[in-house]
Amino acid sequence: MQFTTTQDAPVDASSDCLIIGLTEDGQPGSSFQAIDQASDGLLSRLNEAGELPRKIGKTLVLHAVPGVTAARVLIAGLGKTDKLDGVRFYKASCAAGKALRQSRATSAHCLLTEANVADRDLAWKTRQAALGLAWSDYVYSATKKPDADAFPPTERVSFPHSDEAAGQTGIAEAVQAGIQLCRDLGDLPPNICNPGYLVDTARRMTQEHPGLEVEILDEERMAELDMNSLLAVGQGSANPSYLIHLSWRGGPDEDRPLALVGKGITFDTGGISLKPRDLMEQMKFDMCGAATALGVMAAVAHLKLPLNVDCIVAAVENMPDGKAYRPGDVITTMSGKTVEVHNTDAEGRMILADALTWTGQFVKPAATVDIATLTGACVVALGHHASAVMTPDDALAEELLAAGNEAADRGWRLPLWDDYQEQIDTPFADMKNIGGMPAGSITAGCFLSRFAEGQRWAHLDIAGSAWQWGKPESASGRPVGLLVQWLVDRAGGWSGLGR
Ligand code: BES
Ligand code: MN
Ligand code: ZN
């Protein structure tokens, strides 16, 4: 989807669809009034009759409105004026995008940005409306071709011209490219998107963006580095494991990079601690941490962010096999710390342990954020609405939570108090890889913390937020928005980007 701005008056806009917002209680916006006038009061008559959507998430498409060039007018409910915050505005934009996708329009002129949104300026509203419309335009097509009569994608969306809005069109396209990549990878089946496919994807990204560089560590190289914990998880799979390292050098040479470390389990059977058969197919999404890290890198490269950023992906498949690692095994990780395996299904932390150690040693980042679909317990705790943020560093937690609020891609903090650490004690190694039923997400975070010692580090558990349930289900592209915002904040803000 491409974004532009235009000086055209709404009623004259040369696009297939006008998109306007309507609150439950406020005065209708200026475009509503302009369309109402052009159509001899059609909108106000419908509004008075209670025919127009006003609640958040509700939409209606009117056809052939008199006096309007566009063939359709899409009205999106914005809910109560005093409740209209960033998250609700983004939701309304997604709902508008869904209605747009379910029409024959291939272009639109978006006037949602006329609404007053608490604490948000025009630049923010333009960027987030664009991202919401694009989010809903996504349709998976890699292994299922659309019907001949399926609704077409929206190719172009314009916004009313202003300097603030014009500055956001390129930015929104860049962020959208990252979200799209993340969703594409998350949705692909595990027989296509295996560890080698993630390697190919990283290589392809370096061809598209000359500023990106890639380094691939194969199993032989990882064995030399004693990355035994990562290798143990992959040893039951016929698909070789890889560590993928992408780097972007947009900042001064002397600046230490920010690092994103992604869990890239391309399929999680649970291994010898085999998962139950029902819903196992969902575990293709266990590489969404990796997909997020790669998506963020794509956005960073599109934005040409003036910052040094590294992405490290542990790309591994977790399978049961005669060669697979087993419960009871004690593994010496790259850090030298030993781990007793109690459950081969707690594999994410095993691969991230070595990926974090490698990152600390070879990237020496200023801060590290790992992203992982790590625990089912996280879905129980937070559902699908928030990514869990865990870090011993209060300032880093604050940065990430603030970025999530700004991007309408929220996180919520869970504690990493020392009190939880003893749950992973064992007589047979420095730690075991599970901490029992209580606080399963936190004990996983505690495990990771031991491999991030000395780093400014945070862990995002995205088991709930990475997947969008409902119809159609698909990878959500989260938390690409949160992390891009975090990086942009570190780089001094959006101004000057995306040109
Ligand atoms: N990838 C899963 C986490 C997961 C499970 C995410 C279900 C979403 C839904 C992870 O590798 C896993 O299997 N975790 C185990 C950990 C347990 C063995 C301590 C889990 O959550 O059950
Ligand atoms: Mn697992
Ligand atoms: Zn997993």
Q: What number does the ligand 1 atom closest to the CA of 444 have?
A: 19
Q: What pLDDT is stored for residue 471 in this prediction?
A: 74
| Ligand 1 binding pocket, CB closer than 6 Å | 268, 286, 343, 345-348, 373-377, 379, 434, 440, 463
* Cα–ligand 3 centroid distance for 346 (angstroms): 7
What pLDDT sits at residue 138?
Answer: 96
The answer to whether residue 161 is domain-embedded is no
Atom of ligand 1 nearest to the CA of 435: 19
Does the residue 198 lie in any domain? yes
Residue 47 sits at φ, ψ, to 5 deg, of: -65, -45
Over its C-alpha atoms, the chain yields an Rg (Å, rounded) of 24
> What is the span of the domain harbouring residue 26?
2-137
Task: Give yes or no: residues 211 and 98 share one domain.
Answer: no
Q: How many domains does the chain have?
A: 2
Residue 12 domain-assigned?
yes
Residues 359 and 431 in one domain: yes
**Which one of 375, 420, 448, 465 would you pick to mutate in the ligand 1 pocket, going by the greatest count of ligand atoms within 8 A of its CB?**
375
- Determine which one of 120, 183, 349, 456 is catalytic: 349
403 CA to middle of ligand 3, Å? Answer: 26
Centre of ligand 2 to C-alpha 375, Å, is 8
Q: What is the pLDDT of residues 234-256, one digit of tens each?
A: 999 999 999 999 999 999 999 99
Angle at 26 between CA 25 and CA 30, to 5 degrees: 145
Burial of 472 (0-12, 13-18, 19+ CB in 10 A): exposed
Which atom of ligand 1 sits closest to the CA of residue 347? 11
**Res 470: pLDDT:** 78
Residue 114 predicted with pLDDT over 90: yes
CA distance 293 to 246: 10
Same domain, 221 and 348: yes
**Same-domain status, 256 and 116:** no
CB 474 within 8 A of CB 138: yes
The answer to the question of residue 164 being in a domain is no
Same structural domain, 90 and 219:
no
Atom number of ligand 1 nearest to Cα 273: 18
Clarify whether residues 313 and 252 are in a common domain.
Answer: yes
CA of 391 to the centre of ligand 2 (A): 22
pLDDT given for residue 499 in this prediction: 77
Task: Please state the pTM of the whole predicted model.
Answer: 0.98
- pLDDT tier, 308 (very low <50, low <70, confident <90, very high otherwise): very high
Q: How large is the average pLDDT for residues 325-331?
A: 98
Judge whether residue 469 has pLDDT over 90.
no
- The rounded Å distance from CA 58 to ligand 2 centre is 38
Q: What is the pLDDT of residues 260-278, one digit of tens each?
A: 999 999 999 999 999 999 9
Q: For residues 122 and 93, give the distance between their C-alpha atoms in angstroms, rounded to a whole number.
A: 14
Residue 275 annotated in active site: yes
The answer to the question of residue 142 being in a domain is no
Q: Stretch 418-441: mean pLDDT, rounded? A: 98
Whichever domain contains 476, its CATH number is 3.40.630.10
Surrounding ion ligand 3 within 5 Å at CB are 265, 268, 286, 348
Supply the pLDDT for residue 351.
Answer: 99
